[in-house]
């Protein structure tokens, strides 16, 4: 059982490293993503927020007090990271997993945002709170212009296709560009502000690039050194499975269920293969673990990963119902669940077969392995060698 588990683990690890390299996904223990809400009680003063987050238990609530940082992507100016003070306001205890604020407004200080369902990053880790507060950027909207015609798609593409924001001087232009659909004012980027080279962590092989020395650049190269081959995963081959097939998983009478097990495995492989082909997922481990490395360009990982997860859960549930069906040629009284599970293992991991089909009934496989382990321990305790080493107890 070691090889398949290691196979899934390596896939999961490769997926996490890929996200860390391309998205800088780092878990912050003392931080949350929260929806911004207005303080309708008008209790909070300027520079104050109310932060209450839920815990692992449904009834767990924690209120943060002290210095916190509040920011919203895209965060392009140092002043977009606001250092505020979280206070306990009893009248706001009904607000959970959202950050309450008021005045200019602090949301507007965070990348020119507002409170129309925007999500903010809130952190109260002292090591991540800046020691110096930078003045917020002026995100006053540009005046609107009157057009004598409807805005065309071509006009929108003209202003949005070529602008690239990677300098603090572009923050104001970025704010204007974001508001273009509302104001009609385009963000005209001067030639001297247009990007000439890209950071190496942006991974644009067809463009001039340079080695970035900021945090993201260092993180990118460190992760890339851990997984130099594009965070690739190793394929599980028949030869590898032959070395790891466990004969102890063969329960007496499993042979009677092999035909039915092979029928259901073929059915399972066909349905799982359809899902993999549809989303262009290369390996079974990726789709079962959720650590998908790459899929068809017509799909997005964020939106379609959940659809894949639902499809796989549905298939596993269906396979569980197959397991509970009685064999067509077997009497109901001799229908042995463990022998059947053993047959499912056999038609999956035996060198003549292999795959991940039996883990739809993982609980039965675990019980088989535990029983065999206990049996072996009992044999060891009763062996002459063990009794000689530990002395004979005569009664």
Q: Can you give the pLDDT at residue 185?
A: 80
What is the rounded CA–CA span in Å between residue 168 and residue 188? Answer: 16
Instruction: Note the pLDDT tens digit of each residue in 196-240.
Output: 888 888 888 888 888 989 888 898 888 888 765 544 445 556 666
Share of the chain above pLDDT 90, in %: 8
Instruction: Note the pLDDT tens digit of each residue in 17-62.
Output: 887 888 777 888 999 988 888 888 888 888 899 999 988 777 788 9
Residue spans of the domains in the chain: they are 2-128, 153-226, 238-382
Q: Can you give the pLDDT at residue 231?
A: 43
Rounded to 5°, angle at Cα 267 from 264 and 272: 120
What is the rounded CA–CA span in Å between residue 353 and residue 345? Answer: 10
Write the burial class of residue 237 (CB in 10 Å: 0-12 exposed, 13-18 middle, 19+ buried). Answer: exposed
Which is it for the CA torsion 98, 99, 105, 106, positive or negative?
negative
What does pLDDT average to over the chain?
75
Instruction: Note the pLDDT tens digit of each residue in 331-384.
Output: 444 457 888 888 888 888 776 665 555 555 656 666 766 776 766 666 555 555
What is the rounded CA–CA span in Å between residue 358 and residue 347? Answer: 9
CA 100 to chain centre: 27
What DSSP line would sit under 194-251, residue for residue?
A: S--SEEGGG--TTS-EE---SHHHHHHHHHHHHSTTTT------HHHHHHH--GGG--
- At residue 85, does pLDDT exceed 90? yes
pTM, entire model? 0.52
For residue 296, the 8-state DSSP code is: -
Share of the chain above pLDDT 70, in %: 66
Q: Can you give the pLDDT at residue 165?
A: 41
**Model confidence band, residue 326 (pLDDT cutoffs 50, 70, 90):** low
Q: Which range is least confidently modeled, 197-201, 257-261, 277-281?
A: 277-281
Q: What H or E segment, with its residue span, contains residue 18?
A: helix 2-23
b/e map of 291-322 (b: 16 or more CB within 10 Å)? bbbebeeebebeebbeebeebbeebbeebeeb
Among candidate residues 123, 136, 122, 104, the one with its CA nearest the CA of residue 35: 122
C-beta of residue 360 within 8 angstroms of C-beta of residue 268 = yes
Q: What are the angstrom distances between the C-alpha of 196 and each of 169, 209, 215, 317?
A: 15, 9, 21, 53
Both structure tokens of 161: 């296709």
The average pLDDT across 75-83 equals 83
Q: Can you give the pLDDT at residue 295?
A: 65
Q: What is the CATH number of domain 2-128?
A: 2.40.40.20
Q: Can you give the pLDDT at residue 30?
A: 92
Q: Can you give the pLDDT at residue 123?
A: 94
Q: Which residues contact 201 (CB under 8 A, 6 or more apart)?
A: 21, 212, 216, 217, 219, 220, 221
| Paired strand residues for 33 | 121
The average pLDDT across 298-310 equals 74
What is the rounded CA–CA span in Å between residue 114 and residue 108? Answer: 6
CA 16 to chain centre: 7
Higher-pLDDT residue of 25 and 95 is 95
- At residue 5, does pLDDT exceed 70? no
- At residue 172, does pLDDT exceed 80? no
What is the rounded CA–CA span in Å between residue 238 and residue 355? Answer: 10
What is the rounded CA–CA span in Å between residue 80 and residue 318? Answer: 50
Instruction: Note the pLDDT tens digit of each residue in 103-126.
Output: 545 545 555 555 666 788 999 999
């Amino acid at each position: 059982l070691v090889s398949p588990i290691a196979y899934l683990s390596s896939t999961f690890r490769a997926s996490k490293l890929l996200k860390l390299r391309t998205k800088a996904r780092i878990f912050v223990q003392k931080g949350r993503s929260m929806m911004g809400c207005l303080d309708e009680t008008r209790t909070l003063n300027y520079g104050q927020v109310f932060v209450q987050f839920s815990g692992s238990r449904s009834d767990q609530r924690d209120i943060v007090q002290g210095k916190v940082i509040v920011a919203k992507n895209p965060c392009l100016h140092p002043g977009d990271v606001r250092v505020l003070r979280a206070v306990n306001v009893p009248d706001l205890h009904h607000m959970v997993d959202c950050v309450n604020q008021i005045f200019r407004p602090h949301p507007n200080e965070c990348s020119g945002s507002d409170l129309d369902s925007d999500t903010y990053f809130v952190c109260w880790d002292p090591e991540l709170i800046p020691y110096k507060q930078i003045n917020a950027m002026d995100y006053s909207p540009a005046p609107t212009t009157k057009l004598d015609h409807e805005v065309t798609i071509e006009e929108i593409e003209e202003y949005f296709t070529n602008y690239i924001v990677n300098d603090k001087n572009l923050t104001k232009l970025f704010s204007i560009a974001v508001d273009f659909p509302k104001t009609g004012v385009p963000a005209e980027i001067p030639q001297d502000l247009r990007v000439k080279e890209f950071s190496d962590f942006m991974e644009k092989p067809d463009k001039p690039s340079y080695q970035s020395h900021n945090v993201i650049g260092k993180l990118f190269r460190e992760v890339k050194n851990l997984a130099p081959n594009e965070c690739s995963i190793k394929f599980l081959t028949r030869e590898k499975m032959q070395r790891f097939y466990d004969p102890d998983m063969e329960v007496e009478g499993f042979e009677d269920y092999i035909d039915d097990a092979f029928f259901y495995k073929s059915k399972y492989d066909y349905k799982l293969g359809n899902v993999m082909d549809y989303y262009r997922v290369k390996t079974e481990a990726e789709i079962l673990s959720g650590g998908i490395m790459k899929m068809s360009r017509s799909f997005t990982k964020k939106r379609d990963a959940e659809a894949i997860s639902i499809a796989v859960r549905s298939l596993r549930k269906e396979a569980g119902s197959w397991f509970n069906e009685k064999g067509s040629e077997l009497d109901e009284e001799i229908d042995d669940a463990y022998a059947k599970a053993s047959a499912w293992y056999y038609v999956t991991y035996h060198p003549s077969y292999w795959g991940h089909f039996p883990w739809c009934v993982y609980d039965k496989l675990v019980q088989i392995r535990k029983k065999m382990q206990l049996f072996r321990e009992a044999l060891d305790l009763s062996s002459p060698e063990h009794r000689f080493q530990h002395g004979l107890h005569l009664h």
